[in-house]
Structure 1
Amino acid sequence: MKTLLLTEKDVKQLLTMDEVMEAVESAFKAKGLGHAQMPAKVYLFYKKYKGDLRAMPSYLEELDISAVKIVNVHPENRAKYGLPTVMAIIILVDPKNGAPMAIMGGTWATGMRTGAAGGIAAKYLAKKDSRVVGLVGAGAQARTQLMALLSLYKKLEEVRVWSLPDGTKEAFVAEMEPKYGDVAKIIAVESVKDAVEGADIVVTITPSRKPLVSNDWVEAGMHFNCIGADAPGKQELDPAILTRAKI
C-alpha cells in the first residue's frame, strides 16, 4: 500500500476556489440529507498557551470518502513564533480497510474550505445585488473569504477591511488590490463601525472574546458570515443582533 504525500505547496497549486465551492456545497447537501457522518469536533485546550487543537473526522457515504483533519488555533503564534494562527494536516482514509490513502498539508485547504462555506452561505442568504462587503479582521481567512465572495459577485463596489493597528489591514490591501482592484475598490478603514455600517455582507474573522459589532450599526437585509466565534468563549457580535436575525 502506498500513501500519497502532498505538501502545502502541492495543495495550493491544485485547489481553485470554484472547485472548493462546488465540493463544499455538495458536502453540505450530503450532510443535510443524512448521507454524511460528521461528529462534533474534539478539542484540546492549551490554556497556558492561549491555544487549542481540534480533531475533525468525517465520512461522505455516497462518495465513500473519509478523512480526519487535525487543526490548531493559536492567536499569538505570529507575534511570538512567526507561525500562522491556524495550521492543519489532513489524513485521507480508505473506508473499506482504514488504510491512510493520503497525508496532506491542510492549512491552505482549511482556509479555502472555510472561505467557500462563507461563499455558499452568501449565495443562498445574502442579497443578490450585494455591492459592499465589510471585513472585520484581515488575516489569512479574510483572503479566502474575499476570494469566495468574488467568485459569486463578479463586481463589487467596495470592500472595507478593519483590523487591529498592527499593519495587517494595510498589508491586506497591498496584497489584494493588485489582484482584485479591477472588480472592487479595496480600502482599509479605521474602525469596526466604518467596516460594518452600510455594508451588504459583513464577514467577522477574529478571535475576539467580546462583541465587536454593535446592534446599532446593523440594517435590515445585511448578511453576516461569522467565522471567528468557533469555540467556547469567543464572541464577535452584540447578542441583540442574533435576536433580530433570520435564516
Structure 2
Amino acid sequence: MHVLDDDAVASLLSLEALLPVIEEAFLKQGRGEVERPERPHFPVGEGLDGRNEPAGTGLAMPAYVHGDPAYATKLASVFPGNADPAVDRPTVQAQVLLTDASNGAPLALLAGERITNARTGCIGGLAARELAAGSGPVDLAVIGAGQQARWQTRAIDAARGVDRARIYSPTPDSREGCAADLRSEGIAAETVDTAEAAVRDADVVVTATTSETPVFPGEALADGALVIAVGAYEASMRELDRATFERADRAFADVPEEVAAVGDIVDNEVDPARLTPLSAVFEGEAGRESADELIVVESVGSAVLDTATANYLWGEASEENGVEVAF
C-alpha cells in the first residue's frame, strides 16, 4: 500500500484537470450510478481533559462510483476551535483510504485535507461556470477567510475566471492573510470591512464558514447574483438568512436530501421540494433562465466526490509518489 502525504497529493493535483472529474461524478450521482451509504457524524472530545462539551465532529464517508477501479472511505473531522492561532491546525482534517474495487486490496492512504478542499472548491467552480449570469470573469464576494475560502476562489478562477475577489471575515488578520495568499497566486483580491460591502454588486457570493447565524443580509444581494453556500453541513449551522431565500428564484443542492436538514433550510422554513439536484444543471435539465434571477446553491459535500478525486489522483500517481508500506 502506498501512503501519499500532502506534498505528494499537491504534486499530483490540478484544479483544471479535477473540474471535469467532479462534473462526471455529479452526473453519475444524479443517475444513481454510485454507492453512497449514509455518512455518520458524531461529537468527539467530550470528557477529554475535563471538557463538558464536544471539541469537534468526526465523520466517516464511504463511496464508490460505478466503473471506477477503486472505492474510497474518508475519515474526516471538523474542529472549529482549530481556527484559534494558538492551536494552529486546519479546521477540517481528513484521511482517505483507497481500496481496489475488484479484490478489496488496500491501494493507498492519502492525506485528505487537500482532497476535501479541492473537490469542495470544484463544486463552487462548476456552479459559477454554469449558473453565474453573463459570461467571462466574475466579481466575487467571499465570506470567510479559511482554507475553503481560498479553494473556492481558486476553483472559480479556474472554471470561470475572477475579475475581483472581495474577502470578508470578522477577524481582520484572517481576511488580510487570505487576500494576500490569493494575490500571490495572481488573483486580484482585496479585503472589506463588512459582509454587506463584500456582497453588494457581486456576481457570485461564496459563504465558507461554520457560522450558526446568517453571515450577510440578503437584501444587499444584487439582482442576478449567484450565492454558493458551502459551510453549513448540519442543523446547528446557518449561513444564509430568510431574505436570501425569499428573493431566490431557484435553489440547487449537491445532495438535496442532506441539504434539507441543515440550518439554512430548516431555520428559514425553506420547502425542501425547492431544492433541485445540482446534477440536473450538468445534464442540461435545469439552470439559469434570465440574467436577473437570483440563484442559491447549497452544498454539504458528498463522499462520491472524494472517491472520484482519490481515483483521479491514483491514476496520476507513479511509483515515485508517496511511500510504499507493507500491509
Is TM (by shorter chain) over 0.5? yes
**Pair 1:58-2:63 in alignment:** yes
**Pair 1:187-2:190 in alignment:** yes
The whole-number CA distance in structure 1 between the counterparts of 2:41 and 2:73 is 14
The whole-number CA distance in structure 2 between the counterparts of 1:224 and 1:38 is 26
Letter in 1 for 2:36: M
Q: What residue in structure 2 maps to residue 142 of structure 1?
A: 149
The whole-number CA distance in structure 1 between the counterparts of 2:200 and 2:172 is 23
The whole-number CA distance in structure 1 between the counterparts of 2:223 and 2:37 is 34
The whole-number CA distance in structure 1 between the counterparts of 2:83 and 2:171 is 15
**Pair 1:163-2:169 in alignment:** yes
How do 1:104-183 residues align onto structure 2 when only pairs under 5 Å count?
Answer: 104-129=110-135, 131-154=138-161, 156-181=162-187
Q: What residue in structure 1 maps to residue 29 of structure 2?
A: 31
How do 1:1-80 residues align onto structure 2 when only pairs under 5 Å count?
Answer: 3-46=1-44, 48-79=53-84, 80=86
Q: What residue in structure 2 maps to residue 101 of structure 1?
A: 107
The whole-number CA distance in structure 2 between the counterparts of 1:91 and 1:116 is 21
The whole-number CA distance in structure 1 between the counterparts of 2:33 and 2:133 is 30
The whole-number CA distance in structure 1 between the counterparts of 2:15 and 2:211 is 27
The whole-number CA distance in structure 1 between the counterparts of 2:195 and 2:139 is 14
Q: What residue in structure 1 maps to residue 233 of structure 2?
A: 230
Offset at 1:143? 1.1
Q: Secondary structure of 2:103's match?
A: coil
Scaled by the length of structure 1, the TM-score of the pair is 0.92
Q: Deviations over 1:161-184 (max 9, x none)?
A: 001225111111222113224xxx
CA RMSD of aligned residues (A): 1.6
Percent identity over the alignment?
Answer: 31
Offset at 1:21? 0.9
1:84 corresponds to which of 90, 111, 120: 90
Letter in 2 for 1:58: A
Offset at 1:33? 1.2
- Pairs aligned (count): 241
Offset at 1:28? 0.4
The whole-number CA distance in structure 2 between the counterparts of 1:65 and 1:126 is 34
Q: Secondary structure of 2:239's match?
A: strand
Any conservation in 1 of the 2:125–2:160 contact (CA below 8 Å)? no
Q: Give structure 1 regions of 4+ aligned residues with deviation exceeding 4 angstroms.
A: none
Q: Identify the structure with bigger relative contact order (alpha carbons < 8 Å, sequence gap 6+).
A: 2
CA gap 1:166/1:74 in 2 versus in 1, 3 angstroms: farther
Q: Secondary structure of 1:30's match?
A: helix
Offset at 1:64? 4.0
Any conservation in 1 of the 2:142–2:168 contact (CA below 8 Å)? yes
The whole-number CA distance in structure 2 between the counterparts of 1:186 and 1:115 is 17
Greater mean alpha carbon deviation, residues 73-82 or residues 201-210: 73-82
Residue ranges of structure 1 left out of the alignment (5+ in a row): none
Q: Deviations over 1:40-89 (max 9, x none)?
A: 32101136234101111110112243101111111111324221111100
Offset at 1:93? 1.2
The whole-number CA distance in structure 1 between the counterparts of 2:219 and 2:55 is 31
How do 1:212-227 residues align onto structure 2 when only pairs under 5 Å count?
Answer: 212-227=215-230
Q: Deviations over 1:77-105 (max 9, x none)?
A: 13242211111000001123322211110
The whole-number CA distance in structure 2 between the counterparts of 1:188 and 1:166 is 9
